[in-house]
Amino acid sequence: MSAPEMTAMALRRPRTPLAAERRPLPRPDSGELLLEVEACGVCRTDLHVVDGELEHPKLPIVPGHEIVGRVMEIGAGVTGFAIGERVGVPWLGHTCGACPYCASGHENLCDDPLFTGYTRDGGYATHTVADASYCFLLPREGDAATLAPLLCAGLIGWRSLKMTGEARNVGVYGFGAAAHIIAQVAIARGRRIFAFVRPGDERARDFALSLGAVWAGGSDEAPPETLDAAIIFAPVGALVPRALSALRKGGIVVCGGIHMSDIPSFPYSLLWEERRIASVANLTRDDAREFLALARQLGVDAHVVRYPLAAANEALADLREGRLQGAAVLLP
């Protein structure tokens, strides 16, 4: 009898298409879970890995870090999970637990981390292995596809929103997967969302308004009111000074992406009066617990476009070209 196999879409070299591969089904090591993948979101970070904008991935690498899967096998020493349970796997795949950042509750800044779909294989596959300590129980029932984007787009959006403090008027630049999720959370919590989309993209503008944004316009436009905070999800450095120019005194611009083009020089007057620029790096497990519970409580609805696993390159191309409303999700 032949050994059981799995299918994966693997990146062998940056800036080349993913290739379908048949591989032996892996076994979980101590502390790990073997998962049968139900759905995996397609995140802009995956695009940065595939396009070579994030350097030094493990090659070949199976991308994907918004994984919803069922527990198929449990490694030695793992507790708290049962065969058949549904779990989510995010970007942060492992931390050292010993560096000063881990010791001080900032595991998102760990000196020796592993990242799902970047330095350990991810979810563009029928099966994957994950560190059980970085997996999160999900509802057993419901649509796996709409859960998948919560595991990065939602989590990074949540960490970004928390960094805005008590801001009431919040500008969101780049109304894609993360923005459309966190806009729902922000509005439910009494915030007012001002959505900035690609100039001329009426579909994105209408989408933002349909979710409850009080205003939506091009990223080259000024909002009708001064912003208390702005979150930038688009990987465009030129948006930083534009967002600063829309802020009130003491406001903050939060850069929510892992990669961004260079920020152009700008006059100090845009930053003066205690305006701030901050970046969001990765996530913590506490972020995941908070957000997943809140998303369930609020009934957050991720808008998804579904693709078969074999169409991973098509999904990445649609994301790259801005053809998506909401989030792309692969279904093995």
| Domain spans in the chain, listed from the N-terminal domain onward | 5-151+283-331, 154-279
- Which strands form 215-218's sheet, in the order they lie side by side? 215-218, 192-197, 169-173, 227-232, 247-255, 276-279
Q: Give me the torsion for CA of 248, 280, 107, 299, rounded to 10°.
A: 90
Average pLDDT of each block of 10 consecutive residues along the chain (332 residues)? Answer: 88 97 96 98 96 95 98 97 98 97 97 98 98 96 95 96 97 95 96 96 95 97 97 97 98 96 97 98 95 96 96 97 92 96
Both tokens assigned to 163: 């960094």
With a threshold of 0.85, does the pTM exceed it? yes
| Cα distance between residue 34 and residue 154, in whole Å | 24
pLDDT at position 319 is: 95
Both tokens assigned to 212: 């409850």
pLDDT at position 1 is: 58
pLDDT at position 205 is: 96
What are the pLDDT digits (tens) for 10-68? 999 999 999 999 999 999 999 999 999 999 999 999 999 999 999 999 999 999 999 99
Query: Any bridge partners for residue 138, and if so which?
Result: none
What are the pLDDT digits (tens) for 120-145? 999 999 999 999 999 999 999 889 99
> 5-151+283-331 adopts what CATH topology?
Quinone Oxidoreductase; Chain A, domain 1 (3.90.180)
pLDDT at position 3 is: 77
Under CATH, domain 154-279 is a member of which superfamily? NAD(P)-binding Rossmann-like Domain (3.40.50.720)
Transcribe 195-244 into DSSP letters: EEESTT-HHHHHHHHHTT-SEEEETTSPPSS-EEEEEE-SS-TTHHHHHH
